[in-house]
Amino acid sequence: MVRFLVGAACGLAFAAGVWMHDRKMLNTSFQPDPTHVVELVGQVDGYCSGTLYGAGLVLTAAHCFDDGLPPLVLRDGKRHPTSVLWANREYDVAMLLVDGLSAPTVSFSCLDPRVGDVVVTAGYSAITDLNHYFFWGRVAGPAERRGEPGKVDKDDKPIPSWPWSMVVDVITIPGQSGSGVWSMGGKVVGIIVGGWKTTNPGIIVPGSTICTLMEQNRKDQ
């Protein structure tokens, strides 16, 4: 599941071609550990991705369970139930708790990536048979508000908005929401929360916002 802003979807074949061309020109020295990449399946419908942050903690996008039911984690052919540790709908960030799953704690940056930095996303696809994928690109725009709260489209559906987000020129496809975004230094610098259908760049909530939300929720617990 990916929240798109406007326009018609690009073909995946075209997008993959752009990715392969761009990758040859980028520093792709870092690739995330696949054990940190989590596939999420909605209890009603929808697919998302997440990052196994540490012992049983999965960082993802809050809109991945708009139906109110926490998604299930797919791992090794098994479906693991989750509970919501906390979720912030305004910023579209959530932390899930999954019993029985663990991975080394990821290195996380509380600083926003810089425009021009090379990043890589790691997640799952709802429209292909990829077990997991890695897409490289660059940070294309500074952190700022995107979209206006309360706006609706021609079908009277809410148009996504984010109080503080950045644009990355990384392929964004259905199922990618919640995917971790890593720097070439091996740190998570944000998560994918949306994109544009016409050109496929991604919208990320950057590390500074996620760290602030995590700290606020630590104090509230």
pLDDT in tens, 19-30: 333 445 677 788
pLDDT of 206 above 90 = yes
CATH code (residue 66): 2.40.10.10
Our count of domains for the chain comes to: 2
pLDDT at site 166: 95
pLDDT at site 115: 95
Do residues 44 and 126 share a domain? no
Do residues 115 and 187 share a domain? yes
pLDDT of 214 above 80 = yes
Round to whole Å and give the CA distance between 17 and 176.
18
pLDDT in tens, 43-72: 666 789 999 988 889 999 999 887 777 888
Going by pLDDT thresholds of 50, 70 and 90, the confidence category of residue 6 is very low
Do residues 162 and 88 share a domain? no
pLDDT in tens, 73-107: 887 778 889 999 999 998 999 999 998 887 788 89
Do residues 117 and 77 share a domain? no
Share of the chain above pLDDT 90, in %: 39
Do residues 82 and 139 share a domain? no
pLDDT at site 78: 83
Q: What is the mean pLDDT of residues 155-167?
A: 81
Is-above-0.85 flag for pTM?
no
pLDDT at site 184: 94
Do residues 150 and 100 share a domain? no
76: left (phi over 0), alpha (psi -120 to 50) or beta: left
Query: 1-10, 45-54, 108-117: lowest mean pLDDT where?
Result: 1-10
Do residues 125 and 195 share a domain? yes
pLDDT at site 20: 36
Do residues 67 and 116 share a domain? no
HSE at residue 141, side-chain half, CA atoms within 13 A, is: 17
Do residues 12 and 72 share a domain? no
Do residues 100 and 115 share a domain? no
pLDDT of 12 above 60 = no
Do residues 114 and 101 share a domain? no
Q: What is the mean pLDDT of the chain?
A: 81
Do residues 45 and 68 share a domain? yes
Sole residue written with tokens 């299930």: 72
For residue 69, the enclosing domain spans 35-105+215-220
pLDDT at site 108: 93
